[in-house]
């Protein structure tokens, strides 16, 4: 159908012009497909949409079982699509920006205190190859504040042991160079020299993989594998709910700020485009200060 052709053209534009990742492209496609499916139930054509059409989509989302965050994302993706069609001359000008997104809940990201992080890092059995690999992954995520997708994308030559730096590709395939702490670097060197070759021998297909982290079959470790590893160990050391691998990244940023790091430096280390994204961690540190104050101050 014509509207699906428009959608694929837009997805191609995001890939080529905006360097969007495959996950981002799939999210855009799914969200916009919902809009197109709704429009097929109504009379008229995509070329005749206006801001009232977008308002109808917003109302439909609010009636559904969607969180404010999901509604905001779907509306943002659809508005971008309509702006693209308008720019290409495929639809008439519309007041797309007049359809406001719902206000977001200000939820602070989950994080671990330093003693909880240490307990997590020391949970794997380093006498076993898989345990040492797991320790290497956890140490690296915390030491450098990496996303799971960034860890999955690491190659053997991503790590520069002499400089204790690692090259990662973040959202939108944006490259950045991040320091690796002394402890994490030493463990990572040991993993590359001694543990990874053992895991590589389990590969029965003869493939010569260059990915840094391998699974029990000697093949590249994926996103799901890393999340399973994290869940396995966090359940052993913490009763907190909602803690994910991303919580280690949150902990990295929070502990840096608590130690006096500049917000702009933390922004660069995390690979955030906007400083506003990093500023949420200042709220976490304030919560931590308040908690310590309440527990330590005698005149409650």
State the 10-residue block means of pLDDT for the chain, 300 residues long: 80 86 88 86 64 83 84 89 86 73 64 91 96 98 94 95 93 86 96 96 85 95 95 91 88 87 88 80 66 64
pLDDT at 209: 92
Enter the DSSP assignment of 50. Answer: -
Enter the DSSP assignment of 155. Answer: B
Fold type of domain 2-98 = DNA polymerase; domain 1 (1.10.150)
For 247, residues 6+ apart whose C-beta sits below 8 A from its C-beta are 109, 110, 111, 112
pLDDT at 213: 97
pLDDT at 240: 82
Domain with CATH 1.10.443.10 in the chain: 114-296
For 189, residues 6+ apart whose C-beta sits below 8 A from its C-beta are 161
Strand order in the sheet with 165-169: 159-160, 165-169, 175-179
Enter the DSSP assignment of 43. Answer: S
Domain with CATH 1.10.150.130 in the chain: 2-98
pLDDT at 68: 83
Fold type of domain 114-296 = hpI Integrase; Chain A (1.10.443)
pLDDT at 239: 83
pLDDT at 45: 62
Residues that are catalytic: 147, 171, 246, 249, 272, 281
Distance CA 98, CA 51 (A): 7
Specify whether the CB–CB gap between 144 and 178 falls below 8 A. Answer: yes
Distances (CA, A) of 219 to 55, 98, 135, 206, 230: 48, 49, 18, 10, 19
DSSP 102-133: PPPP-PPPP---HHHHHHHHT-S-TTSHHHHH
Which tokens belong to 107? 């939820």
pLDDT at 291: 66
pLDDT at 1: 45
Strand partners, 160: 165
């Amino acid at each position: 159908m014509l509207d699906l052709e428009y959608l694929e053209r837009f997805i191609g534009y995001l890939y080529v012009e905006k360097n969007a990742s495959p996950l981002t492209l799939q999210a855009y496609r799914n969200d916009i497909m919902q809009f197109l499916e709704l429009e097929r139930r109504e009379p008229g054509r995509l070329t005749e949409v206006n801001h009232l059409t977008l308002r109808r989509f917003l109302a439909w989302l609010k009636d559904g079982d969607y969180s404010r965050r999901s509604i905001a994302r779907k509306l943002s993706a659809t508005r971008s699509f309509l702006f693209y069609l308008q720019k290409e001359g495929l639809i008439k000008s519309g007041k797309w920006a007049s359809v406001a997104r719902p206000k977001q809940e200000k939820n602070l990201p989950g994080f671990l205190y330093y003693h909880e992080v240490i307990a997590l890092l020391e949970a794997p059995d380093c006498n076993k190859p898989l345990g040492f690999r797991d320790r290497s992954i956890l140490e690296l995520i915390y030491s450098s504040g990496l996303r799971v997708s960034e860890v999955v994308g690491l190659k053997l030559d991503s790590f520069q042991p002499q400089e204790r730096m690692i090259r990662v590709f973040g959202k939108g395939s944006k490259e950045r160079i991040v320091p690796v702490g002394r402890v994490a670097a030493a463990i990572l060197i040991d993993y590359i020299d001694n543990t990874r070759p053992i895991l590589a021998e389990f590969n029965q297909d003869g493939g010569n993989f260059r990915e840094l982290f391998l699974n029990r079959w000697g093949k590249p470790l994926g996103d799901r594998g890393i999340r399973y590893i994290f869940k396995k160990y966090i359940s052993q050391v913490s009763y907190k709910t909602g803690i994910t691998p991303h919580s280690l990244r949150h902990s990295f940023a929070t502990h840096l700020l608590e130690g006096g790091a500049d917000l702009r430096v933390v922004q660069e280390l995390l690979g955030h485009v906007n400083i506003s994204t990093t500023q949420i961690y200042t709220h976490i540190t304030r919560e931590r200060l308040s908690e310590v104050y309440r527990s330590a101050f005698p005149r409650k």
